[in-house]
Structure 1
Amino acid sequence: MPSHHNRRNRKSKKPQFTSHPVEVEITRLGAGGDGIGTDNKGRIIYMPYSLPGEIAVGKTIAKRGEGIAAKLESIQQPSKNRVNQKCDYFGQCGGCSMQHMADGAISDWKRETLTKTLHQKGLDDFPINPTKSIPAGTRRRARFAVKPTQNKCVFGFNSPFSKQIVDIETCPLLSPKLSEALSILRQLSGSIEGFSMGGDVQATETQNGLDILFVPNNNGELTLHDRENLIEFANQHQVARIAWENDGWVEPVCALLPADIKFAQTDVAVPIGAFLQPSQAGQDILVDLVCKAVSGAKKIADLYCGCGTFTLPLAALPQKPIIHAADGLEDQVSAMRKAVAGQKITVESIDLAKNPPSSDELNTFDAVVFDPPRAGAQRLAENLAWSNVETIVAVSCNPATLARDLRILVDGGYEIVEATPVDQFTWSAHLEAVVVLKRESL
């Protein structure tokens, strides 16, 4: 008889998934933009690139939560919202998931997504404005996957849920300047000895030229020849800055010009890899919504301020308010501190997730704006809920954590005035939102 020890150490084989044909009527879209329906066996099927109302035919490929993921093979009954794809790489490249859907339908779906997410937290009875959308051809920042080979340098984006790189020549999402730079970035990436194992290349369009960051897969080291080539390349193509990341450490290889981004009328020399809104057009929409919401406020806190996306436009409002900006990213705070010297702006470096301002500290402000990362701002929301700040503006790229934080504020006595979905990640399922809350008095 086998011992208990042997039974505990006996490895159980994982059941192998068997693929099979499936036909399903799509009834809704999931949070990631996949079509969802139920097959004739009652199983939930997730079918990318399908739309509600369509009869989709495909093959199941893997288990996915409580359902099954499938690969689309054909559409038997197309939706009225189906349109032709705008890019030859759509379906192969993981950069876009919704090019098959009409732009107006995408806007409606994103507004509906925000509405449903807030409703799940009992947040209703306030206007949710139509989605403000940003067109393609405006992305000023992109991160490319690169793999040099003996014959060519594969340069592009990863396939959906895969490390395989789709080699691209063009991308309709990119700004004209980034689009023009694709071929030279490919050539440069394939010429660097320290990048022979590939990695990522992040390119950002700044006022003075491209800001390029190389992130090698193997923490490769630059040779002297590499450094000379990078400097020559920067001079030849009017590149503002080139940097190299090795094992988490970032080294500026050459900085010929300041990598400036303009916020309101102020130029900020942004740090390497700093967070920026993906497009100027998207940034302008968010700034306009935030500034209108705090019109008349004389003292404003901009929390999770980054390099000053909202701070500097808020300081330029007609009432010339006093602004206090805070963020935990020291390099970005430092960059803004240098840029705002002489203005009515104080800047603080603080970990807002762990040590947000207390309710008493928040009470010194007429309005608070916060734009946290995807994890949200739960502790800050808890302190705000006990404050008497008149106006709060929440900006978020994650509807789920936004709903959680708003629920805290509403439970604390705030009223949601309006919410506006913003779609600046064209043809993707990503969604941002700006929500305005008011409190008359405690």
Structure 2
Amino acid sequence: MSDDLIVRIAARGDGVTASGRHVAGAAPGDAICSDGSILPGPHRAVPPCPHFGLCGGCQLQHVDDAALADFVGDRVTGPLAAKDIVARDVRPVHLSPPRSRRRASLRYVRKGGQVTLGFAGQGSHDLVDIRTCEIVTPRLHDVMMAVRTLVSNWPEVRISGSVDLTEIDQGVDVLITGIAPKTLAQHEMLSGFAEAQKLARLSIDQGFGPETQYEPVPATITFGDIAVRFPQASFLQATRDGEEVLATAAREALDGCRMVADLFAGLGSFAFHLIAPGRRIYAAEAARDPILALKAAADARQLPVFTEHRDLFRNPVQRDMLNRLDGLVLDPPRAGAEEQVRAIAGSSISRVCYVSCNPATFARDARILCDAGFVLDTLWPVGQFRWSTHVELASLFVRQS
């Protein structure tokens, strides 16, 4: 194999040759010429977005789906291999399609009559003005463009802030910082914008927490068939199809378990998908508003879901409680769940479904489980962050008798 041929994509999106040379913007199969130029190979694709290369939202629009799937799979299995862990079964990579992302966080700046609204640039904090986006849902895209008009027409000349957009059951939930309605006309301007865009909800945060300006009916998100009240800017999996793949993995991993736990439960995206006859579920979450929403939804349907507002970093669930469980699912933030995993390793629990958005901390925690007698039975790589170097995964660890 020639040293000037790109053989894989590195963690940050660079192409890598067999000799270890990194080349920005190269795709697997590309040849690197002596002058440093790139001769396109079979896995190079035409980036669909005019902002690619400037906007930091996407790093991999220049590769085809086959190379993108290989990248996601390698990002998941590579850190495990470095810890001498090999999964018994690695499922095919799931890639979310373009225009499927249902949440986005943007920044904006208005100086005079000019508005810049978009994402941070590649490798910088500079704001890139976005006029189109190929990853968000069509409805989210329409609202993004409408927010630009709202900011352009706002009475104050110099303003800056952020915009959080989430597509939920009733439409798009919008949370804006940086504008402060002070007059009746300004409040009417906001409500008129929300009505015209048919928003699920519009909230303004002036530094004291979200204040709802418009919400014609309660804002909810549905997991399975359970509608849950949606607190502003709450966490959701990036895409609906990604959530379903992860939930299906959890159902398969915990099949037959009668007493299960959902740790780092959020709004209940796993707990409610795990509802089954004869099963009881304990859900723990550190964020107050999500766990209260989860509890309210479970209580309203009289479901066997028991909740606890609990910081699992400071106060992990301990062995005496874990020993009562048949299995659990945990979905920690990027930092992983080292202390909680150590408690799990020291318990008698036999099945663990670990969901992660960080392959490095996942591999660290996986080593703890394997050293305690678990084997990594199944791995589900999920590319729900389309064209990004970020990946998701689900896994099943089974304790050996």
Is 2:66 the counterpart of 1:51? no
Q: CA 1:229/1:321 → structure 2, altered by over 3 Å: closer, same or farther?
A: same
Is 2:216 the counterpart of 1:256? yes
Is 2:14 the counterpart of 1:34? yes
1:38-437 paired onto structure 2 within 5 Å: 46-56=22-32, 75-124=37-86, 126-193=88-155, 196-216=158-178, 221-224=180-183, 225-247=185-207, 249-315=209-275, 317=276, 319-341=277-299, 342-437=302-397
Which residue type is aligned with residue 375 of structure 1? Answer: A
The structural deviation recorded for 1:259 is 1.8
Contact 2:30/2:41 (CA < 8 Å) preserved in 1? yes
Supply the RMSD in Å over aligned alpha carbons.
Answer: 2.3
The structural deviation recorded for 1:271 is 0.6
Q: CA 1:53/1:399 → structure 2, altered by over 3 Å: closer, same or farther?
A: same
Deviations 1:50-100 (A, max 9, x none): 124534479xxxxxxxxxxxxxx9743222211111112111211111011
Q: Secondary structure at the match of 2:63?
A: coil
Deviations 1:119-170 (A, max 9, x none): 1111125222221111111111111221223333222222212233332222
Contact 2:113/2:152 (CA < 8 Å) preserved in 1? no
Q: CA 1:152/1:361 → structure 2, altered by over 3 Å: closer, same or farther?
A: same
Which residue type is aligned with residue 314 of structure 1? Answer: L
The structural deviation recorded for 1:111 is 0.8
Q: Secondary structure at the match of 1:148?
A: strand
Which residue type is aligned with residue 260 of structure 1? Answer: T
**How far apart, CA to CA, are the structure 2 residues paired with 1:166 and 1:334?**
37
Flag the structure with more relative contact order, 1 or 2, with Cα contacts below 8 A and sequence separation at least 6: 2
**How far apart, CA to CA, are the structure 1 residues paired with 2:157 and 2:91?**
47
Q: CA 1:196/1:244 → structure 2, altered by over 3 Å: closer, same or farther?
A: farther
**More divergent stretch after superposition (73-82 vs 174-183):** 73-82
Contact 1:396/1:402 (CA < 8 Å) preserved in 2? yes
TM-score for the superposition, normalised by structure 2: 0.92
Length, aligned pairs only: 396
**How far apart, CA to CA, are the structure 2 residues paired with 1:24 and 1:414?**
41
What stretches of structure 1 of length at least 5 have no aligned partner? 1-22, 59-72
**How far apart, CA to CA, are the structure 1 residues paired with 2:375 and 2:180?**
54
Identity of aligned residues (%): 32
The structural deviation recorded for 1:102 is 0.7
**How far apart, CA to CA, are the structure 2 residues paired with 1:194 and 1:138?**
34
**How far apart, CA to CA, are the structure 2 residues paired with 1:194 and 1:346?**
48
What stretches of structure 2 of length at least 5 have no aligned partner? none
Q: CA 1:378/1:195 → structure 2, altered by over 3 Å: closer, same or farther?
A: farther
Q: Secondary structure at the match of 1:312?
A: coil
Deviations 1:319-361 (A, max 9, x none): 3410110110111001111111111111110000111111111
**How far apart, CA to CA, are the structure 1 residues paired with 2:98 and 2:212?**
31
The structural deviation recorded for 1:405 is 0.7
Q: Secondary structure at the match of 2:379?
A: strand
Partner of 1:7: none
Which residue type is aligned with residue 146 of structure 1? Answer: Y
TM-score for the superposition, normalised by structure 1: 0.84
Q: CA 1:221/1:386 → structure 2, altered by over 3 Å: closer, same or farther?
A: same
Which residue type is aligned with residue 222 of structure 1? Answer: P
Q: CA 1:388/1:231 → structure 2, altered by over 3 Å: closer, same or farther?
A: same
Q: Secondary structure at the match of 1:436?
A: strand
Contact 1:33/1:97 (CA < 8 Å) preserved in 2? yes
**How far apart, CA to CA, are the structure 2 residues paired with 1:76 and 1:351?**
50
The structural deviation recorded for 1:28 is 4.0
**How far apart, CA to CA, are the structure 2 residues paired with 1:268 and 1:202?**
19
Q: Secondary structure at the match of 2:89?
A: coil
Which residue type is aligned with residue 335 of structure 1? Answer: A
**How far apart, CA to CA, are the structure 1 residues paired with 2:295 and 2:154?**
35
Partner of 1:19: none
